[in-house]
């Protein structure tokens, strides 16, 4: 899925221009879904927390039973190299990927040492603030004993995609999804927060959703700034009564929700505070101790 026309792809030791073919028709991933990926960002000449994304792609491969042929540091260096092929001011989506080429004699399970690697870098503008809307999905998040929830696995995103498609069909940008106990987990593509009486609350990680790197970073930044942040079980009713709602994720980093169901959300000072803190962090306007 090409996000733009300006793309570079690293594969088998060299860079290629465009949406390069990388997976063979007989590769294990092509028909059995053994692929993991990660996503990072370049914007305003910065690439915040990139090394964490690089460590996570290696961890995701390990969770799926692959053996990564490269280290996180190598992935980092390759992405840094690839970014230099674009204008320095370009907003970029940075996507390392790994997948299994071969299965074992049992076919369905993978051969761990057949892991392939590619890095795709594409131009992608940062989304504008102001129109992001949420509904509630009928589709549930799986438990760890139901799916590979501990990895950023491509196979999970077919389910996420139908959550998103249903939300957009109903006129919304995205949707809250619940776990099997009726707790809010996340949206189809982001972690989610609410604000109530100047306290920030967010679903506690329970294995049904990825504890996002941007989520973790925003929690640290708000707490360092004196804001009370609570990770807890939350219901849809909590979001319906919230003073503010915001999402965190790779594409937009921190995005205020302008509409939840039929409700137009009011001004969002805490969300914009979180967004400002993140931008200050991204541009290193903190000491090393502040951002640890």
Beta bridge partners of 194: 201, 245
Averaged pLDDT, 252-275: 97
Averaged pLDDT, 124-149: 95
Q: At residue 281, does pLDDT exceed 90?
A: yes
CA dist 164 and 288 (Å) reads 37
Averaged pLDDT, 171-182: 97
Averaged pLDDT, 99-114: 90
CA 178 from chain centre, in angstroms, equals 18
pLDDT given at position 290 = 43
pLDDT given at position 2 = 66
Lay out the sheet containing 184-187: strands in order across: 184-187, 174-178, 133-140, 259-260, 263-264
CA dist 240 and 261 (Å) reads 8
Averaged pLDDT, 30-34: 93
pLDDT given at position 288 = 40
Residues 6+ apart with CB under 8 A from 25: none
* Cβ 95 vs Cβ 80: under 8 Å: no
Which residue is listed with tokens 């200050």? 280
Region(s) of the chain under CATH 3.20.10.10: 133-282
* Cβ 66 vs Cβ 100: under 8 Å: yes
Fold of 7-123: D-amino Acid Aminotransferase; Chain A, domain 1 (3.30.470)
Q: At residue 286, does pLDDT exceed 70?
A: no
- The confidence band for 221, taking pLDDT boundaries of 50, 70 and 90, is very high
* Cβ 283 vs Cβ 44: under 8 Å: yes
Choose the CATH number for 133-282 among 3.40.50.2300, 3.20.20.150, 3.40.50.880, 3.20.10.10.
3.20.10.10
Please state, in angstroms and as integers, the Cα–Cα distance from residue 227 to each residue in 189, 199, 217, following that order.
25, 7, 14
pLDDT given at position 291 = 45
Averaged pLDDT, 224-243: 98
Specify the DSSP class assigned to residue 113.
G
* Cβ 244 vs Cβ 266: under 8 Å: yes
CA dist 219 and 216 (Å) reads 5
- The confidence band for 285, taking pLDDT boundaries of 50, 70 and 90, is low
Percent of the chain, pLDDT > 70? 96
CA dist 200 and 220 (Å) reads 12
Averaged pLDDT, 211-225: 98
Query: What are the two backbone dihedrals, phi and then psi, of residue 96, each rounded to the nearest 5 degrees?
Result: -80, 145
Condensed to tens digits (0 to 9), the pLDDT of residues 6-29 reads 999 999 999 999 999 999 999 999
3-state secondary structure 151-170: CCEHHHHHHHHHHHHHHHHC
CA dist 75 and 86 (Å) reads 18
CA dist 173 and 166 (Å) reads 10
pLDDT given at position 35 = 97
Residues 6+ apart with CB under 8 A from 86: 6, 8, 42, 92, 121, 123
Averaged pLDDT, 149-173: 95
Averaged pLDDT, 202-207: 97
Region(s) of the chain under CATH 3.30.470.10: 7-123
């Amino acid at each position: 899925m090409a996000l733009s026309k300006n793309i570079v792809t690293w594969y088998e030791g060299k860079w290629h221009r465009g949406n390069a073919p990388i997976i063979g028709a007989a590769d294990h991933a092509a028909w059995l879904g053994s692929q993991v990926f990660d996503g990072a960002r370049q914007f305003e000449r910065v690439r915040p927390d990139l090394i964490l994304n690089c460590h996570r792609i290696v961890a995701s491969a390990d969770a799926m039973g692959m053996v990564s042929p490269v280290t996180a540091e190598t992935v980092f260096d390759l992405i840094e190299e690839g970014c230099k092929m674009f204008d320095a001011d370009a907003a970029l989506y940075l996507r390392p990927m790994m997948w299994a080429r071969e299965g074992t004699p049992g076919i369905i399970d993978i051969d761990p040492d057949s892991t392939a690697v590619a890095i795709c870098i594409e131009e992608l503008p940062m989304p504008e603030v102001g129109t992001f809307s949420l509904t509630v999905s009928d589709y549930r998040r799986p438990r760890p004993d139901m799916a590979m929830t501990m990895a950023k696995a491509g196979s999970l995103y077919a389910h996420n995609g139908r959550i998103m498609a249903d939300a957009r069909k109903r006129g919304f940008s995205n949707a809250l999804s619940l776990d099997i106990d009726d707790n809010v987990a996340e949206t189809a593509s982001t972690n989610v927060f609410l604000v109530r009486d100047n306290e920030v609350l967010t679903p506690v990680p329970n294995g049904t959703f990825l504890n996002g790197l941007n989520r973790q970073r925003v929690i640290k930044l708000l707490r360092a700034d004196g804001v009370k942040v609570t990770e807890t079980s939350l219901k849809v009713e909590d979001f319906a009564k919230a003073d503010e709602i915001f999402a965190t994720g790779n594409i937009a980093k921190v995005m205020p929700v302008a509409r939840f169901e039929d409700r137009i959300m009011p001004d969002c000072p805490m969300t914009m505070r979180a967004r400002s803190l993140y931008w200050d962090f991204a541009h290193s306007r903190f000491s090393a101790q502040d951002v640890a």
